[in-house]
């Protein structure tokens, strides 16, 4: 396995590498293997590697952030004749007519240069296998990596997710609505090394339980990328009713969201998470126009990150399909913010007006009672309930 961004982390690089190793081990739980890091690479040696095991390794490693690409390789002594034998094995049944040899030599004590290895193995492919060397558009690449005491020979690179290992950037509380956007936002936060803790606001019993069940399924999908995943279910109906009966209806959604951020901040502090993230997308809906985003953010000193802020909707949809959340997200559900929503919400709200409305509410009591009713669940990578 290769990594990209970790390589530029200087003196902190060993810490990032160790975190990536730990994450890989968690994703490969149940398989038997040895795992170690060598110069610029991570090596897994499976106890067994039949077709079924190879499929499992490939499936699971494609959910690990921090890996730029990985390959199933033949490991041979760093000797040119051993490399030729490995190439013979790998190309035995290859129908490709044109090939290219690409050598990386990190071990400078090896007597041949990368170019010399390319030429030697290229001549072997011509004379032994009848191949044609094409350095521009070959049908088949042969990769040679000479590193430390190893020589790895392989023909295929499998793309990884890139980014940073989950956990490298600490925790983030993600507001998860059940729609298309917020799960994608969580995925992008993971790519930058954050470990999401999810918070879902619901209006049960005024809305049915299906919205919570749907969000659980979304969390199970996202758990594949982060190992274990924790979610807080926040009953929001009492706060909503107070807002509905004591404030101007056009400001309801903004007031809802201000209270959501306050509660999310409390959960974040409990979880030692220094930031909050949302699926906000600039001007997609009225609550996401600049003045309303500013009004919502005003209630907290904690940074609110919005990784989708500049995306258009189709880009978000495409990514949701790619990461596996789209089919769940489009299932119908009753969102708490759509309850009691006015026909014409405010496109621009000013903070002093919002504060005057909030003075009419018994905020301390509402928040305390809501926090007491929060439920928490934790799911494993495989989607099993670990904790409730």
pLDDT digits 0-9 by tens, 115-138:
999 999 999 999 999 999 999 999
CATH no. for residue 30?
3.30.70.1510
Rounded average pLDDT over 152-175: 96
pLDDT of residue 331: 87
The residues, ordered by sequence, that sit 6+ positions from 45 with a Cβ below 8 Å of its Cβ are: 33, 34, 35
78 within some domain? no
- The answer, yes or no, to whether residue 327 has pLDDT greater than 60, is yes
135 within some domain? yes
Q: How many domains does the chain have?
A: 3
Give the C-alpha distances (Å, rounded to integers) separating 237 from 234, 261, 273, 300, 375.
9, 15, 26, 22, 15
Residues 183, 328: one domain?
A: yes
Residues 53, 98: one domain?
A: no
Least confident of 133-142, 301-310, 373-382: 373-382
Domain that holds residue 7: 1-72+159-164
Residues 132, 25: one domain?
A: no
Among 122, 145, 164, identify where a domain stops.
164
**How many other C-beta atoms can be found within 10 angstroms of the C-beta atom of residue 58?**
12
pLDDT of residue 305: 97
79 within some domain? no
pLDDT digits 0-9 by tens, 1-21:
999 888 888 889 999 999 999
284 within some domain? yes
Residues 21, 112: one domain?
A: no
CA distance 261 to 270: 14
pLDDT digits 0-9 by tens, 51-72:
999 999 999 999 999 999 999 9
Residues 21, 148: one domain?
A: no
Average pLDDT across the chain, whole number: 91
At 195, which helix (H) or strand (E)? Answer: strand 195-202
Residues 261, 286: one domain?
A: yes
Rounded average pLDDT over 300-310: 96
pLDDT of residue 291: 86
Band (pLDDT 50/70/90 cuts) for residue 385 is confident
pLDDT of residue 205: 66
pLDDT digits 0-9 by tens, 335-345:
655 555 666 66
77 within some domain? no
Residues 67, 90: one domain?
A: no
Residues 38, 122: one domain?
A: no
- The answer, yes or no, to whether residue 50 has pLDDT greater than 70, is yes
pLDDT of residue 7: 81
235 within some domain? yes
pTM tops 0.85, yes or no: yes
Taken as a whole, the chain contains a residue count of 388
286 within some domain? yes
The label of the residue with tokens 């030729």 reads 84
The DSSP call for residue 144 is E
Residues 151, 211: one domain?
A: no
pLDDT of residue 341: 63
Residues 208, 231: one domain?
A: yes
Residues 3, 64: one domain?
A: yes
Residues 98, 199: one domain?
A: no
CATH no. for residue 120?
3.30.2300.10
CA distance 365 to 255: 16
Among 119, 145, 164, identify where a domain stops.
164
């Amino acid at each position: 396995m290769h990594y990209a961004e970790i390589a530029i982390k200087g003196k902190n690089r060993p810490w990032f590498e160790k975190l990536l190793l730990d994450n890989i081990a968690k994703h490969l739980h149940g398989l038997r293997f040895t795992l170690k890091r060598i110069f610029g690479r991570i090596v897994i040696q499976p106890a067994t590697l039949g077709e079924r095991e190879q499929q499992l390794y490939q499936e699971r490693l494609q959910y690990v952030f921090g890996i730029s690409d990985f390959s199933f390789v033949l490991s041979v002594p760093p000797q040119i004749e051993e490399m030729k034998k490995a190439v013979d094995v790998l190309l035995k049944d290859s129908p490709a007519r044109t090939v290219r040899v690409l050598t990386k030599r990190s071990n400078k004590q090896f007597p041949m240069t990368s170019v010399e290895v390319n030429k030697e193995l290229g001549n072997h492919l011509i004379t032994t296998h009848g191949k044609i060397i094409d350095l521009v558009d070959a049908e088949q690449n042969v990769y040679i990596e000479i590193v430390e005491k190893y020589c790895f020979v392989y023909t295929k690179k499998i793309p990884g997710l890139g980014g940073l290992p989950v956990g490298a950037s600490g925790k983030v509380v993600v507001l998860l609505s059940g729609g298309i956007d917020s799960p994608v936002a969580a995925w992008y936060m993971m790519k930058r090394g954050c470990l999401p803790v999810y918070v879902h606001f619901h209006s049960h019993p005024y809305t049915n339980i299906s919205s919570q069940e749907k969000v659980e399924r979304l969390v199970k999908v996202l758990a594949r990328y982060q190992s274990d995943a924790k979610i807080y279910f926040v009953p929001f109906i009492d706060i909503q009713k107070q807002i509905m009966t004591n404030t101007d209806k056009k400001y309801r959604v903004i007031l809802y969201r201000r209270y959501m951020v306050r509660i999310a901040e409390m959960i974040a502090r409990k979880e030692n998470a220094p930031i909050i993230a949302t699926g906000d997308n600039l001007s997609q809906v009225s609550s996401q126009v600049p003045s309303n985003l500013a009004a919502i953010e005003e209630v907290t000193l904690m940074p609110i990150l919005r990784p989708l802020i500049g995306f258009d909707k189709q880009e978000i949809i495409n990514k949701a399909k790619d990461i596996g959340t789209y089919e769940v997200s489009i299932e119908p559900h009753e969102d708490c913010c759509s309850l009691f929503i006015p026909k014409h919400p405010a496109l621009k709200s000013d903070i002093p007006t919002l504060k005057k409305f909030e003075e009419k509410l018994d905020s301390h009591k509402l928040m305390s009672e809501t926090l007491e009713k929060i439920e928490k669940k934790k799911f494993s990578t495989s989607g099993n309930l670990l904790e409730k």
